[in-house]
Amino acid sequence: MAFPYLEAVLGFMISVYIFETYLDIRQHAAHKRPTLPKQLEGVVSQEKFEKARAYSLDKSHFHFVHEAVTIIMDTAILAFGLLPWLWKKSGDALVYMGLNAENEIIHTLSFLAGVMIWSQITDLPFSLYSTFVIEARHGFNKQTVWLFFRDMLKGILLSIVFGPPIVAAIIYIVNIGGPYLAIYLWGFMFLLSLLMMTIYPIIIAPLFNKFTPLPEGILREKIENLASSLKFPLKKLFVIDGSTRSSHSNAYMYGFFKNKRIVLYDTLIQQCANEEEIVAVIAHELGHWKLNHTMYSFIAVQEVWLVGQPCRPRGTLEHTVIPVQHLVSLGLNLISRAFEFQADAFGKKLGYATSLQAALVKLQEENLSAMNTDPWYSAYHYSHPPLVERLAALDESDKKTD
């Protein structure tokens, strides 16, 4: 008797939804608390707390609706066999256009085009509401409707450009892989990951944002001196116009070997009180580099992917690996949180403890991030520790060094 994959996947999907909804309810209750955590009293202003609380509750209400609609649609798609139906209809469409429906690559591309169209249509109302209602209501959205749809169109065009050759390569590898299929697929995905990590910041990201060199001045000098002291091979230092779309802030670095770049969101520069706070954020990011966190995370993802391949039955779709995806996500979040604590401690050792704490508080306030968090929810979902835990860890490291 064949293993009932469909029933197992449906059962797991619904079980995960129930469990995650329970965590969402716990987090929603945490958002409703009318007072700051004791550790943040006198640190975060009451005005910012009230704004953050309102923002978190709005997002939470929206999340409940979005997840409910998503589980209903996903369950219906599997239970009523809509994916096989779409596969047949995509083949019929190819025949109607005079194309060869027996060609596996062409048929798969036609099927995936249908999936993409369905995803765009069903996700569009939620994206519009999130961007132009929730984000706008709380002062974050800066983009126009035209810019929103232009970005969406660019994303679709990129899928059309990159999707077909990737899909064709995967199908070819599956057909010739034999007993070494998992190894060949892993090798291809490994090389593809390296390629995308290379071209995304250089070719793709500039299609959506403008990158300009950080002007000469005290901030640039301090960042370059910090990078030099750590022997970080900084080649370029950019500012990205994140404020054209949102007032949320960020900073990141990219590049291989001796060709590293650091990117600051213009909103980060605007929100931090002084150059020292911005440099403290960069010190944290350089801690990830110095401690090899990016490399370790990349290797961990590759190993998990490789180990999971023998468990994936040939011909199944994404839904059949949902159990593995959730376990992997949880494990990677645990690793990520540990890395964040280590990067904070690294910044502290460089003498940026006070500035880093001030920057973390400032970014928490300006991004209206949740002040009260449920421990179960954050342990399951958060890739970064809550602010209270990060501040406490920095204080603890101070006590250990005193």
> Tens digits of per-residue pLDDT, 136-186?
999 899 889 999 999 999 999 999 999 999 999 999 998 888 888 878 888
* pLDDT above 80: residue 2: no
The contacts of residue 329 (CB under 8 Å, 6+ apart) are none
Residue list for the binding site for Zn(2+): 284, 288, 340
* pLDDT above 70: residue 401: no
pLDDT at 310: 45
Is 58 annotated in the active site? Answer: no
* pLDDT above 90: residue 357: yes
pLDDT at 35: 92
List 135, 344, 374, 389, catalytic entry? 344
Cα–Cα dist 380/382, whole Å: 6
pTM: 0.85
Helices 293-308 and 322-347: crossing angle in degrees, nearest 10, is: 170
Categorize the per-residue pLDDT at 127 as very low, low, confident or very high, splitting at 50, 70 and 90.
Answer: very high
* pLDDT above 90: residue 345: yes
* pLDDT above 70: residue 75: yes
pLDDT at 301: 66
Categorize the per-residue pLDDT at 316 as very low, low, confident or very high, splitting at 50, 70 and 90.
Answer: very low
Residue list for the binding site: 284, 288, 340
Average pLDDT, integer, range 93-114: 89
* pLDDT above 90: residue 66: yes
Considering the chain, what is the average pLDDT of its residues? 86
Provide the percentage of residues in the chain whose pLDDT is more than 90.
47
Domain ranges of the chain: 1-139
List 135, 266, 285, 366, catalytic entry? 285
Average pLDDT, integer, range 277-302: 85
Which of these ranges, 137-146, 301-310, 366-375, has the smallest mean pLDDT? 301-310
pLDDT at 193: 84
Task: Answer yes or no: are the C-beta atoms of 272 and 365 closer than 8 Å.
Answer: no
pLDDT at 293: 86
Categorize the per-residue pLDDT at 303 as very low, low, confident or very high, splitting at 50, 70 and 90.
Answer: low
Strand order in the sheet with 251-254: 211-213, 234-240, 260-265, 251-254
Average pLDDT, integer, range 233-244: 88
Cα–Cα dist 134/58, whole Å: 7
pLDDT at 302: 64
| Full DSSP string of 187-219 | HHHHHHHHHHHHHIIIIIGGGTS-EEEPPSSHH
Question: How would you classify the pairing of strands 234-240 and 251-254?
Answer: unpaired
- Residues 183-214: tens digit of each pLDDT: 888 888 888 888 888 888 888 889 888 889 98
CA dist 271 → 34, 72, 243, 248 (Å) = 26, 41, 11, 10
Is 123 annotated in the active site? Answer: no
pLDDT at 187: 87
